[in-house]
Amino acid sequence: MDILKAVLMGIIQGATEFLPVSSSGHLALIKGLFGMDNASILFDVLLHLATLVAICVVFWKDVFKLVAEFGLMCRDIFENIVTFGRSLSAPGHSEYIHVLSSPYRKFVLLVIISTIPTGIIGIFMKNIVEYTTSNLLVTGICLLCTGLILALSDFLADGDKKLKEMNNFDAFAIGVTQGVATLPGLSRSGTTIVAALLCGIDRKFAAKYSFIMSIPAVLGALILELFDLGSESVSGGDVGCYIVGMIVAAVVGFFALKFIMNIVVSRYFKYFAYYCAAIGIVSIIVFFVRR
């Protein structure tokens, strides 16, 4: 891999990971156009890791509080288990700790609920996703579907649900769409944000929830991908290209994430819908031309 391809892949990953246009679809198209079908799995993992860093930087206060509260919740659950064990040997009044004692603890629970269906669907769809990742016909069709979803989203009424009003079913439904969006060409951010809007969630919080809930899902996917690395060799030149690609992906991702947070509120998703439709058509054309 040369430095220019690494920079290009970093820009594509950083921008499309957060803009509702499907990063996987764009990466598949770029690989197809430039003959990079055998691109390094490790490089893909590192690019996704870079965009995770961007999420953590933009939402660092929320991420910090969520991680801290998750640790405290685990502590309280353990203490409740100990209390329950003691009550078995010494029956009597046992006082348990209320685990969901703050808004951020509810936030943690909702993210966990969303992650469960995402993980289950991701595991069952793993082979399908791997088979279709380099198939530009599937990518093109999914991009067209993304365009349709985004076009419809601007016609949805504004919801008023925020963290306090959001329920477990909302979290589960959004998690399901995140799992399905592992298909190349389906925008993860686009489908999950639209799913949240359909649940009546406030537009700004829908976007924030979409990106924060992606952290455990993406981390899990990265861990699974690491097992597929096998004995992949990396040269000294590749290391430099990988580092440059990661930096580019993180920086571009930071600004793309800031940008999309404003776009969601402004109801400009229809413009991304046009773009996805155009790129989807290009992908389908490239598929048949290459055949």
- Given this model, what pLDDT does residue 261 score? 87
What pLDDT score does 128 carry?
87
Reported as a single tens digit per residue, the pLDDT across 240-267 is: 888 899 999 999 999 999 998 888 877 7
Per the CB < 8 A criterion, the answer to whether 273 and 148 are in contact is yes
Q: Which is higher by pLDDT, 8 or 66?
A: 66
**Average pLDDT score over residue span 107-115:** 96
Higher pLDDT, 167 or 17: 167
- Stretch 63-80: mean pLDDT: 95
What integer is the mean pLDDT of 191-205? Answer: 93
pLDDT digits (tens, 9 = 90+) for 5-49: 889 888 988 888 888 888 777 777 776 666 665 556 678 778 888
Q: How far apart are CA 257 and CA 56, in angstroms?
A: 11
Reported as a pLDDT band with limits 50, 70 and 90, residue 1 is low
What pLDDT is recorded for position 91?
72
> Long-range contacts for 262-267 (Cβ within 8 Å, ≥24 apart)?
264/193, 264/203, 264/204, 264/206, 264/207, 265/203, 265/204, 267/154
Total-model pTM: 0.87
How is the chain classified by DSSP, letter by letter? Answer: --HHHHHHHHHHHHHHTTTTT-HHHHHHHHHHHTT-TT--HHHHHHHHHHHHHHHHHHTHHHHHHHHHHHHHHHHHHHHHHHHHHHHHHS-S--PPP-S--SHHHHHHHHHHHHHHHHHHHHHHTHHHHHHHTT-HHHHHHHHHHHHHHHHHHTTSPPP-B-TTT--HHHHHHHHHHHHHTTSTTS-HHHHHHHHHHHTTB-HHHHHHHHHHHHHHHHHHHHHHHHHT-TT----HHHHHHHHHHHHHHHHHHHHHHHHHHHHHHHT-HHHHHHHHHHHHHHHHHHHHHH-
Q: 235 falls in which pLDDT band (50, 70, 90)? A: low
Look at residue 276 and tell me whether its pLDDT is greater than 80.
yes
Question: 142 versus 37: which is more confidently predicted?
Answer: 142
Q: Is 267 left (phi over 0), alpha (psi -120 to 50) or beta?
A: left
Q: Where is mean pLDDT largest: 87-96, 143-152, 223-232?
A: 143-152
CB-CB neighbours of 39 under 10 Å:
17
Per residue in 168-189, pLDDT (tens digit) is 999 999 999 999 998 888 989 8
Quick check: 205 pLDDT over 80? Answer: yes
Inter-residue contact 152 to 194 (CB < 8 Å): yes
